[in-house]
Structures are given as C-alpha cells and as structure tokens.
A and B are shown apart, each in its own frame.
Chain A
Amino acid sequence: MSPLLQVKNVTKKYGGLTANNDISFDVAENEILSVIGPNGAGKSTLFKMIASFTPTTSGEVIYQGERISNLKPHIVARKGVVRTFQETTIFKSMTVRESVVVAQHLRAKASLAGYFWGSKTAKEDVTAFGKYADELLEFLGMSEISNEQASNLPQGSLRALGIAIGLATDPKVLLLDEPFAGMNHDETMNMVNLVRSVRDERGVTVMLVEHDMPAVMNISDRIVVLNFGEKIAEGTPSEIQNNEKVIEAYLGSVDDEIGM
C-alpha cells in the first residue's frame, strides 16, 4: 500500500533549540500510528507541523502526493488532515451538539450568502448537519450529553467531544493529541475502543501522541519513537518493546512500573 501521509526529513528549530531533527516516516491508509517519547521529545511540535499549525524549518509533509506543511491549518483541514487538542481547547459556551454542527461547516454546500438569505440548499445543509451530528454523537455514545454545555462536561467527555468535533469535519487523517491523558484504566479502555472503531467503522487513519504505554501498545499498528527530537525507532508494538535503543532511552526507566 502506498503511504497516505509521509513525513520527510522534517526539522524544526526554535532559535538555537532543535525540537525535531530530520524526522521521516510514512503513515499507511487505515493505520493507527502512535508517536511516543519522553517529555520534550518533540511529539507535539511534530503534530503541529503535520497539521500546519506551525511551519517546518526544513523538510516537508506529503499527503496524497501533495505538500501540506507550511500551509495554513484551515487549508490542511479542508484537505482532510485534522488535529484534535487536549481537553481545554473546546467551544466552551456551545453545547455538544452545537459544537458538532458547527464543525461540519466544511461539508456545507451552500455559500455564506446562501445561508444569509436562507436558500434552499442552506436549509438542506442545516437539516443534514443536525442529522449527522445526532448520528455521530450516537456512534460516540454521547447522545445523552448532546445538549450539555461543553464547559460543564467532565474530562473524559471533553476528550470525546474533541474527537467528535474532529470527526465532524469528515477527516481522512485524524491527529489525536494525548487522548488518554489523565484517564483511569476503564476510561482509557473505553477510549481505546472508541478510537479503534473510528478507524474500523469510519475508515479514518489515526495518528496519536500519547504517554500511556499500555494503551499505546494495545491500540497501535505501528509506533514511532522520538527522543530529544530525533527518531530513534519505528515498528510494531512488539518490535518497539524489544528495541534496545527504546528501552535504554525510554522504557528502561519505567519498565518496573508497567511490567515489561
């Protein structure tokens, strides 16, 4: 299978600090790929560059044969590469359903003027958005909280809301930023199942940045390991678990804790 998304020799420098140095890897269609690494390894920076939230210093990100790095976030989102954020980045005073409806604006067929004058296409759009929002929220098991204000939601639901907003844009590639952080074991397992069903049932390719090792090992098809801005390993979960460099740099210090 030809890669859906390619990270090619990407480097990011902030002044004298190198956050990412010459990182390359491929993401295949329908894959769940995790980027892991200790704090400060440059995972979030890499994500920002893939979603074009920050420009690369050198190198490029290719999606379906097109360069998507150094563009603007909304253009990359239109192409189908959408990132989610950690839980504090939400539309605070909208309800869950409103957030999911507004997030569908890329699917709109009518123009902004059409909405203003209330054209037929616009009305059809509005109905379709509502219907899809309900469907999506049911898929994510969020129907019961669909009329809750986002600022009143507990942490776990906020993460799910982030994913719901991301999914509403109809992405091909979804970039999840620490979807399991701060969750207990049960919540994590629910989220793992959710992410997996996003891939299985919606055909969305998923990339995630995560610290929770058991969850990462459970969910990932492949893993890319960063350390001090360098890629030190890439492979299946079992390959990564047995990779000496990884154990040395990263897992070695915590292996008692996670029992590997």
Chain B
Amino acid sequence: MMLGFTSKQLVGVGIFLFMIFIGVPLIIGATGRWDFYFTLTSVALLAIASAGVWLTFYIGRINIGQGAFALIGAYVSAILVVKAGWSFWISLPAAGLFAAIVAILIGLPILRLRGVYFAMITLVLTQVVTLTALALPITNGAKGISNIPLPSSISVFGIPILPDFAAMENTKLAFYYTACIIMILTYAALYRLVNSRLGHLCRSMQQNEELASSIGVNISYIRVVIFAISSFFGGLGGAMFGSIAQSVYPSSFQVADSVNFMLNCFLGGLGFVFGPMLGTLVLYFGWDLLFEFGKYQMLIYSTVLIIIIRFLPNGLLSIRFGKGGDK
C-alpha cells in the first residue's frame, strides 16, 4: 500500500508511465513513424478535455459542450500570447481559469436542467462560442489567430526549467511530453477527486439529487464547482492544441468535436476514471486506421460504435473490470 494504491495498481501505473515516456519514443524511433507523435499528442490533449466531460457525467449531466470550452481556452491562450505578449506557460492556466469562469456564469442558470434538456443547451454552446469568435474583433473573425509563437523558455531565479520550444530540434517530442505530463496530472487529479469526499457527493447527486439535498448536500454549489473543473480541463486541452497548431480558428473546435468528447467517455466507460483516456485513444486511432477503407470509413466506424455501445453499455473497460466500479 502506497498513497492508497494496491501494489498491483502501482505496477499498472508504472508500466503505463514507462510506456508513455520511454516505450513510445523508442518504438517511434525504431519504426520511423514520426507522425505518430502528433497523433499521440492529440490523443493526450483530447483525453484532457474528455476527462472534463466525464466529470460532468459523474454528477448526472450529459455534456455535449466541451468543444465550446476548448475553443475558449485556445483563444484565450492565443490572445494572451500574441496580443498581450504573455508566456505560453502562464497563458495555459489562465486559459483554463477563464473557461472555468465562463462555465460558472453559464452553469448557474443551465445546471438546473437535467437529462436531455441540459444536453441540448450544451450542444448549442459550441455553436454559440464559434459564432462569437466569428463576430468579435479580438478573435479576428474567420481569419482566426495564426502564427502563434511556440512556447518560450521558462526560468525561475535564472535557473532554466523549460527550454525555448522554438530553439529545439525535436518540437514534436517536446509537445508530446508536455501533453502527456498535463494529461497525467489531469487524470491524477480526477482520480483523487472521484475517490475523495467530493467524488462521493457527486455520486450521491448522480443517483438522486433530492435525496442528496435532504442529507445536506448543497447540490447547486457542487454542480457549478464540478462544471467549472470540467471546463477548466476543456480550456487547458484547447489552449495546448492551439499552441501546437500555432493557430486558432472559429472552426478549431466544432459541434462534432463536442460530440466526440462525449463519445470518448461512453466508449471508455462512464464508471471508470481512466475510461475517457482509453476511449479517446481507441476512437482517435480507430478512425485513423479505418482510413484505408476510403468512402466506407464513416460507415464502418459508426457501425462499430453502435455495436460497442449496444453490447458494452459500461464501456470498454468493463471487459476487464466488470460492471461499474470507480477506479
């Protein structure tokens, strides 16, 4: 037992970390598939945003609006870096925080809704943010913000902590590591949250809001807190994405992306903290692998999805861990 993990879990985490930080770079180096860095970085960033969606599922709300917060995060970071000259590393948490503040303002009225009504409103959110980005002068309309400089170096008291990305030979690897580290921190935080009292209160709300409030749970407060954390993750993922692509457009995150974030959670398993991570990996790679089928790509992809959701309603992880569970 260490940090509340069993030794089996620790071994699992160890293998996972080894694969991410040493295994993958070795394999990519050996096969020469350098493009996989970009794919895996995308998976890591999308998994961060999906973690947020998963969290709103955990209080019993279907969130199809994460694209909105990813887009907000991407724009906030881009504007801060390009127009205000901030360091990317400071703009990153700022983007998350801004997304969280927007989530609080929007969440206060809409989180009263349940079920399909909440889902529909969040679905519209992505479109609203896209249209706002088109209309506002600061976001530069349809032209978006391009030529965003790469993350600069960072040093504290003259000691360099992170190098300048622009001066690096292998930017792809640097972004890959950065994205993985943020993803791991996100999921570690999510795991702690779910297994702490806040998580238990969320579960009680997911199962019965009336009973939860009768045992003294301030359900409207917790709903807003959770939605803010969820959107923080969305903003973080979006901001990193903008930095890698070095550009942000109103179409960077669309309704389809919001739907994908939700699908990642379904596919991985709503009962498992690490479900959305696996779901993102499988969905993203699955789509890429089906590329060879040309015009049948979408047909096969959606058929497989329907079959999985039909026969594995608790997600892919339920094959390994059985129904439910909260690990």
Contact = CB atoms under 8 A, between A and B. Distances in A.
Interface of A: 51, 53, 72-74, 77-78, 82-85, 89-94, 98, 101-103, 105-106, 108, 110, 112, 115-118, 122, 125, 165-166, 168-169
Contacts of B198: 112, 115-116
Nearest to A88: B208
Given A91-B207, A102-B204, A77 B213 contact: yes
**Lowest 5 A-B CB distances belong to which pairs?**
A77-B216, A115-B196, A115-B197, A73-B213, A106-B216
B204 A112 contact: no
A78 B210 CA distance: 15
Contact of A101 (B200, B213, B216, B219): B200
B134 interface: no
A55 to B, nearest CB: 14
A116 B192 contact: yes
Given A74-B218, A78-B216, A116-B192, A94 B211 contact: no
A82 B214 contact: yes
B201 interface: yes
B307 to A, nearest CB: 25
23 contacts: A53-B213, A72-B220, A73-B213, A74-B219, A78-B216, A82-B214, A89-B208, A91-B204, A91-B208, A92-B208, A98-B200, A105-B215, A106-B216, A108-B197, A116-B193, A116-B196, A116-B198, A118-B4, A118-B192, A122-B196, A122-B197, A125-B197, A168-B215
A89 B210 contact: yes
Given A112-B196, A122-B197, A74 B207 contact: no
B40 interface: no
Interface in B170-223: 192-193, 196-198, 200-201, 203-204, 207-208, 210-211, 213-220
A84 B4 CA distance: 34
A63 to B, nearest CB: 15
A73 B192 CA distance: 28
Given A78-B216, A106-B216, A169-B215, A94 B197 contact: no
Given A105-B216, A169-B215, A91 B203 contact: yes
Given A94-B203, A101-B200, A115-B196, A82 B215 contact: yes
B12 interface: no
Contacts of B201: 102, 105
A166 B200 CA distance: 17
B215 A92 contact: no
Most chain-A Cβ atoms within 10 A of its Cβ — which of B215, B220, B324?
A: B215
A150 to B, nearest CB: 9
B196 A105 contact: no
B315 to A, nearest CB: 15
A83 B211 CA distance: 9
Contact of A102 (B213, B215, B220): B215
B215 to A, nearest CB: 4
